[in-house]
Each structure stands twice: as C-alpha cells, then as structure tokens.
Amino acid sequence: MSPYAPSADWQYDVPTSGSKKLPPAARYVESLSHQGYGFEAAIADLVDNSIDAGAHKVVVSFLRDDERLVSLLVIDDGSGMDEAALDVAMTVGGQKEYADSALGHFGAGLKAASLSHSDSLTVISRTKRSPSTGRRWRTEAAQADFSCDIVDARYCQDLVDRYDGVIEWHGTIVRWDGVRAFETITAGQTDRFLNDAIEKLETHLGLYLHRFLSRDDFHVDIVVEDVHTREELDHRGIEPIDPFGYRVPGRAGYPRTYTAPVEGVGEVPLVAHIWPPKSPLVAYRGIGALADRQGFYIYRHDRLVQAGGWNGTRSAEAHHNLARIAIDLPSTPNGVFSLTVKKDGVNVTPAFARGLEKAADANGHSFAAYLQEAETTYREAARRSTEVKRTEVIPPGKGIDPKLKRTLRDELPQLEGEDPITFRWEAMPSDVFFGIDRDDHVVRLNKEYRQAFNGDRRAGSNDAPVLKGLLYLILEKNFRMGRSSAQRDDEMALWNSVLVSAARCEIARYDAAAG
C-alpha cells in the first residue's frame, strides 16, 4: 500500500496502514439476548430450523410442574446433527453453508432467538448414523469465556427416548431453561398465561408458516406437559392461517398478477388480492390491526417473512384495508431485497419503488389502478347499510377441536381479556349430562355418556366436536351473562333431560349393533 500523503482534498478512499484481528469479547454473547425477538418470532425461528432439517413433525412443549412452568422444548423428527455439526450450530458466528431453499439465512437464529428468552439453551440431537449428543449454552458461563457445556451422553439418550413418539431414528430437541417470561407469572395466573401465550403462538405460526402447514406431510403441535407424569394437559394442532384465504374475492377479476420491472432483479410478479369487505374471518381480522395488515405479503422459500406494510412506497390508509399483495422473493441473491435478521420484514431499495410505478398486468392495467379498485370496493361497502352484527362471545378453549375452534372464531367476534370456555369429561350422576362452572368457565360432561359420541374410536381431549360445538353455542351466554336466572336454569334442566335420553338411546343402539 502506498503511504498516505496529507492533502486538503477529500479522501474518497480511507487510507490504512495495516490490519489486525480483533476477536469478539465474550460479552458479545450478552448482545444475543437483546436482539428484540418476540416470543412467537423466536419459536418460529426454531421451527424454521426444523423445516430445514426435513422435519415432518414438530412439537412445542411447555413443561409444567403444578403451577410453575419450568422449561420449554421444541422437538422435531428432522435429520438431526452429529457432534461436529452440533458444534457448528452452537458456535457464535459459526460458519454454515445453507441450501438454496433453506429458511436459515444468517446463522444466528438458534442462539439469538433462544438467549433472548432463556438463560440456558440446550440442544440434543441424533442422526441415523450417530448417537445422541448434546451441547448447552448458559449465558453466565458463555459471557465469561464462550464456554459451551457438553451434555452427558446418557442424559441425551434419555431425553430422546422420552420423546420417541416424535423422534424415532433421528431428530433434535431444543430446550430452554430459565425462561424469563415464565418467571414473571404471578400466583394463580399460570392458566391464563398459557392460554394467552399459546393463542398468540397459534396465530403467529399459523400465519407465517401457513404454506408449510397446508401440506399433508407437515404438522406442528403445541402441548402442555406435566413434567412428572408426562400427561398432556393440553394439545393443540396448528392450523394454517392463509392471509389470502377468503371464500369469494371482494371484486370480480381478482386475484390478478402484475409484473414489476425491478432494476437489478428483473420482472417481479405481484399477485394482487382484494378481500371481501367486512370479512369476519380470522385470516382478515385476527392477525393484527387492519391498517398494519394491508399491503405486501412477502415470502422467501414459501415462508412468510413480512405480513403487510408498504415498504415506504406509500402510507397505510383505511381505504386500502382490502388490498393485499403476495410477493415471492427471487431465489438468487440481489441488492434490492434484504431480509431482516429476525425474518420479520424486508428492506427494499428505491429500485423496487420505481418498478412498482411501472407494474402492469397482462392487459396493461397499472398497479395504481388496482389500488383504486381496492379503495372503491372499500368505499362502496362503507356506504351500504350496516350489516347485522353478531354478539361478542367468550372464546372457546381447551377440549374443542382446533378446526372447530377456528371456525367459531371466524364466525363470532371474541371478547377480549376473558378466560376461554373449557370442555372436560368427568364422573357425574347418571341423570346429569352436563354441568357448568361459571367462575372457572368450564363445561363438565358426564363421561358415562362419552361412548355415545366416540363408539370404537379412541377418545381424546378434543373429541365429540359436534356435541361440543352445539353446547358451546347454547351455553356460552350463561358464562357471559353472569349469575343464573330461573329461565336459564330451566333451559339447562330441559337440555340435560333430553341429552341424557338421547345418549342412552345412542348407546343402546351401539350395544345392539355390537351384540
């Protein structure tokens, strides 16, 4: 390099006089815990790793010890890692080659997502050809000297065996201990915390991974597990929430594909949708404020990485609430679109805005004309007479099949801040079919009559969806309206009498057919 010669002129290149290596201080680990990951986004990042590993089953498990939540695990049946691969995965700044279709991008997600919410991250994995192995990061030890613990091999195998229903020949378990959100739960609030946390997680995973969840060979379940008995206290399957999942478009001729010529990328397809006005569906109203959910829905390798927003090309306005546009990022790297580390948004350069101004469909209609049609559809609906409004209800909770629960939430506006209604089979007198606990929001069902609704099928916590759906519709007002009345008590006595008789008839018919 040539020596620097002082000059009054501007130096377009910064002069240097050599270089030196400056390895990160151990305190760098602390910065991983301050990346701003939301709880749901952190779990989604772990599920991304499972998808990259070829998993078909993923289970998010909250481990409960009476009223305490002690750990959180994410278990998958992916290809797993041997010791060398696990060391790379647990190294801060470790090098890893990603496949072209991988959801992983920066190599920091596992550590940053986990340490943002827990004081200890343990990863245990096995492959078809290598035994179970494990590593543990504890923030306190890592901050001192980047020390990563080697987990006892026998414990690794014991934990894999505990979840042999998910992991058969290969898979991975990510374990969080010292979860900071768990340690803030006050006495008597565990159930409410779990319900709120799981509801948000269902919505986030259902939305951001909806293309994967729509496949027949991929499933994500959330369970609450008794840490001692291993009993599942709650089990919910995640259903996809398609942000374009309306039944009939809000305007004829949509969806419609526009093509934007973007310098440095080429032609970028924009699939423009107009939602039906005043839709009650969760995919429209249940994923956040409508003003935040209009705009671009950007996908990278089928994973949603931005759910709404205009990326600086315009401001959100109420009359564009029906406008949603799907964009699949180009598979090859480019200088126009860049993903945020947390995979919760995309940064764009002015080249995208210029391409948007020139975007047109196959008939030459401009993207600006699409926005005008979305606005017109919104304004026309606003001028019409107000539609019939359904009464807000207490949300359905545990014991109801997730698909039925989703339909109920699609069709009925939900009361905020109310504990959901739980359905539970219990031992009860033979002349009683059901009872309700208004204070705890529980519908108790007489388990003597459970056979009438399951026959030879295996009973599960979410069984008898027709029965529970009907009972929810007729009983919900009894929880919402508080104290009982003579009329409502008489109604429930009538329903009990009829249902006991109907269930006995059903069981008699079943026994006669079986005999």
- pLDDT tens digits for 410-425? 788 888 888 899 999 9
Q: State the chain's mean pLDDT as an integer.
A: 88
**How many domains would you assign to the chain?**
3
**Do 191 and 54 reside in the same domain of the chain?**
yes
Domain with residue 64: its CATH number is 3.30.565
pLDDT at 143: 62
Q: What mean pLDDT do residues 40-60 have?
A: 95
**Do 175 and 125 reside in the same domain of the chain?**
yes
Is the pLDDT assigned to residue 128 strictly greater than 70?
A: yes
pLDDT at 106: 44
In this structure, is residue 188 part of a structural domain? Answer: yes
**Do 171 and 87 reside in the same domain of the chain?**
yes
Q: What mean pLDDT do residues 131-158 have?
A: 83
Is the pLDDT assigned to residue 179 strictly greater than 90?
A: yes
Quote the percentage of the chain above a pLDDT of 70.
90
**Chain segment 241-295, per-residue pLDDT in tens:** 999 999 899 999 999 999 999 999 999 999 999 999 988 888 998 898 999 999 9
In this structure, is residue 296 part of a structural domain? Answer: yes
Which residues, other chains included, contact 348 with Cβ-Cβ below 8 Å and sequence gap of 6+?
311, 312, 336, 337, 338
pLDDT at 474: 92
Angle between helices 39-52 and 190-208 (to 10 degrees): 50
For residue 36, give both structure tokens.
């701003």
For residue 393, give both structure tokens.
């209800």
Element (H, E) at 151: none
Q: Which of 192, 209, 238 is the last residue of a domain?
A: 238
Q: How many CB atoms lie within 10 A of CB 438?
A: 13
Cα 124 to Cα 133: distance, rounded to the nearest angstrom: 6
CA 333, 336, 342, 343 torsion: positive or negative?
negative
User: What does the buried/exposed string (b/e) look like for 35-63 if buried means 16 or more CB atoms within 10 Å of the residue's CB?
Assistant: bebebbbbbbbbbbbbbbbebebbbbbbb
- Which pLDDT band holds residue 389 (cuts at 50, 70, 90)? confident
- Which pLDDT band holds residue 212 (cuts at 50, 70, 90)? very high
pLDDT at 512: 79
In this structure, is residue 454 part of a structural domain? Answer: yes
pLDDT at 485: 81
**Do 229 and 339 reside in the same domain of the chain?**
no
Is the pLDDT assigned to residue 101 strictly greater than 60?
A: no
Whether the Cβ atoms of residue 104 and residue 48 lie closer than 8 Å to each other: yes
For residue 422, give both structure tokens.
């739980």
- Which pLDDT band holds residue 105 (cuts at 50, 70, 90)? very low
Q: Which of 238, 270, 293 is the last residue of a domain?
A: 238
**Do 101 and 215 reside in the same domain of the chain?**
yes
For residue 202, give both structure tokens.
């269902």
In this structure, is residue 391 part of a structural domain? Answer: no
In this structure, is residue 9 part of a structural domain? Answer: no
Element (H, E) at 389: none
- Domain span including residue 363: 256-383
In this structure, is residue 421 part of a structural domain? Answer: yes
Whether the Cβ atoms of residue 246 and residue 283 lie closer than 8 Å to each other: yes
Burial class (CB in 10 A: 0-12, 13-18, 19+), 387: exposed
Which residues, other chains included, contact 3 with Cβ-Cβ below 8 Å and sequence gap of 6+?
none
Q: Which of 238, 264, 295 is the last residue of a domain?
A: 238
- Which pLDDT band holds residue 484 (cuts at 50, 70, 90)? confident
Is the pLDDT assigned to residue 495 strictly greater than 70?
A: yes
**Do 269 and 376 reside in the same domain of the chain?**
yes
340 or 43: whose pLDDT is higher?
Answer: 43
pTM exceeds 0.85: no
**Do 123 and 231 reside in the same domain of the chain?**
yes
In this structure, is residue 82 part of a structural domain? Answer: yes
The backbone torsions φ and ψ at residue 282, rounded to the nearest 5 degrees and listed phi first, read -60, -35
In this structure, is residue 246 part of a structural domain? Answer: no
Give start and end residues of each alpha helix (H) in 263-388: 282-285, 290-293, 350-358, 367-383
Q: How far is CA 174 from CA 56, 88, 269, 283, 358, in A?
A: 16, 15, 37, 30, 47
**Do 437 and 362 reside in the same domain of the chain?**
no
**Do 339 and 418 reside in the same domain of the chain?**
no
Cα 319 to Cα 323: distance, rounded to the nearest angstrom: 9
In one-letter notation, the amino acid at residue 322 is L
- Which pLDDT band holds residue 36 (cuts at 50, 70, 90)? low
**Do 104 and 208 reside in the same domain of the chain?**
yes
Q: How many CB atoms lie within 10 A of CB 334?
A: 15
**Do 363 and 439 reside in the same domain of the chain?**
no
Q: How many CB atoms lie within 10 A of CB 463?
A: 18
**Do 57 and 168 reside in the same domain of the chain?**
yes
Length of the chain measured in residues: 515
Least confident of 230-234, 336-340, 453-457: 453-457
Cα 497 to Cα 490: distance, rounded to the nearest angstrom: 11
